[in-house]
Amino acid sequence: MSVKIEKIRVICTAPEGINLVVVKVETNQPGLYGLGCATFAYRHMAVKHVVEEYLNPLLVGRDAEEIEELWQLMHQNAYWRNGPIENNAISGVDMALWDIKGKMAGMPLYQLFGGKCRAGIPVYRHADGRDLAELCENIQRFQEMGIRNIRCQCGGYGGESYGTLPQGTPRGANPGVYLDSRKYIRDTVKLFEGIRNKIGHEMNLVHDVHERIAPAEVIRLAKELEPFDLFFLEDPVNIEQTEWLRRLRQQSSIPIAEGELFNNPKEWKSLIAEQLIDYIRVHISQIGGITPARKLAIFAEQFGVKTAWHGPGDMSPLAHAANIHIDLAAPNFGVQEWSGIEPPNVVIQDLKGPHGALLEVFPGLPEFEDGYVYANEKPGLGVELDEKEAAKYPCENTVTVWTQTRRMDGALQTP
Ligand code: MG
């Protein structure tokens, strides 16, 4: 008997103060359902609406086993395609269908992708600090946990916190996160020099530019960072300016990772085919889920480009698990960002919600141990959702301020 989709529901929850969007696809088979991540933390109600009002009626009664057919159907149904709200909504359903497929097969998803080609997933963590001393303390704390790859930032992505108007801004400037890009470049170069002097060369170091400075400035930063042997420079240019990567490539040997904001194959095809980047790091729900992410990983493999999927706090454990399953089976996997999930014994900086709540809402999330993450061996994604626990942490609709990044003259700069 074929497995039919009976209902598609959305559950929104914020166990750590970040809005997470989960899609549940229910079938006509007793006890058989799938879960997927559709998290677009800053537009969660819009995604919920697309899933429940458009994708649910489109897919009810359809065969849950036909993942490719249903993905194409969702992707083309609204005529206009590749937008972040639509792609996240599609991702929620897509991951849930893969979860169902794995449960039907009685296998963890990585088995359906060809099986493991590595035993564990090396991750990079985020170390931050107000100054070099604090940052190095945090790096050493991660080193003691077995971490070998670490992203190093000073005061987030540089600049002042929201609402602080620094000296030198014009009269009447709007509130924002102000960044003096020249100072940021000077401070960042000094920071990496300091880190290498203090901790030596054992750790692999990453720095995230977060698209916050002009492309011409990135070239200077990359050249000045070369002596400090970075693992990669993350998202150096904004997605509208990726032609600059060709020039960056010509002028610097620094490895480049780009793509956490990508939406559309047009944005990555030529960057990969021309080998202008070393690591492709999309946010997999943002491109439409596991189906397109698997295709992207295989495409990148042909050109010697590695994967380093986005793994921030503003995605659910279901999406982290999806990353890990793809990583386990991808020969061209590079490294996995790991910021959103902490075992209960680890102290979390800047946590907004109660500690450990995420683990209670999402039992079964991948385990971290000694620098590596491991998927559990349960069928499908292997992550559950406790809906009663989830209901204790309702999402909030607030105005997002961290994205209001500004140059010193008050003009907005991509965040
Ligand atoms: Mg990043």
Lowest mean pLDDT among 50-59, 80-89, 211-220, 334-343: 334-343
Q: What is the mean pLDDT of the chain?
A: 94
**Given a cut of 60, is residue 43 above it in pLDDT?**
yes
Mean pLDDT of 280-306: 98
Residue 210 designated active-site: yes
Strands 149-152 and 367-369: unpaired
Tell me the CA–centroid distance for residue 328 and ligand 1, in Å: 21
Report how far ligand 1's centroid is from the alpha carbon of 73 (Å).
31
Distance 262 CA to ligand 1 centre (A): 12
- 350 confidence band (pLDDT: 50, 70, 90): very low
Question: Each residue of 295-343: pLDDT tens digit?
Answer: 999 999 999 999 999 999 899 999 999 999 999 999 999 999 997 565 4
Compute, in angstroms, the gap from residue 235 CA to the centroid of ligand 1.
6
Averaged over 352-370, what is the pLDDT? 81
Region 62-71: what's the mean pLDDT?
A: 98
Percent of the chain whose predicted confidence (pLDDT) is above 90: 88
Rounded distance from Cα 234 to ligand 1 centre (Å): 6
In 3D, which of 406, 402, 415, 401 has the Cα closest to residue 178? 406
Report the pLDDT value the prediction gives residue 342, as an integer from 0 to 100. 57
**Separation of CA 367 from chain center:** 18
* Domain extent listing, the chain: 5-107, 111-379
Query: What is the predicted pLDDT for the residue at 340?
Result: 54
Asked whether residue 163 carries a pLDDT value surpassing 90, the answer given is no
| Ligand 1 centroid from CA 52, angstroms | 30
pLDDT at 354: 55
Indicate the helix (H) or strand (E) that contains 272: helix 265-273
Q: Given 126, 207, 210, 283, which residue is catalytic?
A: 210
CA distance 182 to 153: 16
Q: What is the CA radius of gyration of the chain?
A: 21
- Whether residue 230 is predicted with pLDDT greater than 70 in this model: the reply is yes
| pLDDT above 90 (res 172) | yes
Report which of residues 12 and 167 the model is more confident about.
12
> 99 pLDDT exceeds 80?
yes
Cβ atoms 104, 3 nearer than 8 A: yes
- How far is it, in rounded angstroms, from Cα 98 to Cα 94? 6
List the end-to-end C-alpha distance of the chain, in Å, as a whole number: 50
Task: Classify domain 111-379 by CATH number.
Answer: 3.20.20.120
Rounded CA-CA distance 296/286 in Å is 13
Q: What angle, 0 to 180 degrees and rounded to 10, lies between the N-to-C axes of helices 215-225 and 181-199?
A: 20
Which residue type occupies 137?
A: E
Which of the residue ranges 12-26, 125-139, 198-212, 330-344 would you say has the lowest mean pLDDT?
A: 330-344
Distance 239 CA to ligand 1 centre (A): 13
* From 33, 110, 124, 157, active-site residue: 157
User: What amino acid occupies position 151?
Assistant: R
Name the phi and psi angles at 123, rounded to 5.
-120, 160
Indicate if 374 belongs to the active site. Answer: no
Compute, in angstroms, the gap from residue 27 CA to the centroid of ligand 1. 36
Q: How far is the CA of 413 from the centre of ligand 1 (A)?
A: 16
Q: How far is the CA of 227 from the centre of ligand 1 (A)?
A: 22
Separation between Cα atoms, residue 204 and residue 183, nearest integer Å: 25
As residues whose CB is below 5 A from the ion ligand 1, the structure lists 208
Query: Which one, of 205, 197, 203, 252, lies nearest residue 224 by Cα?
Result: 252
Domain 5-107: CATH architecture, name and number where available: 2-Layer Sandwich (3.30)
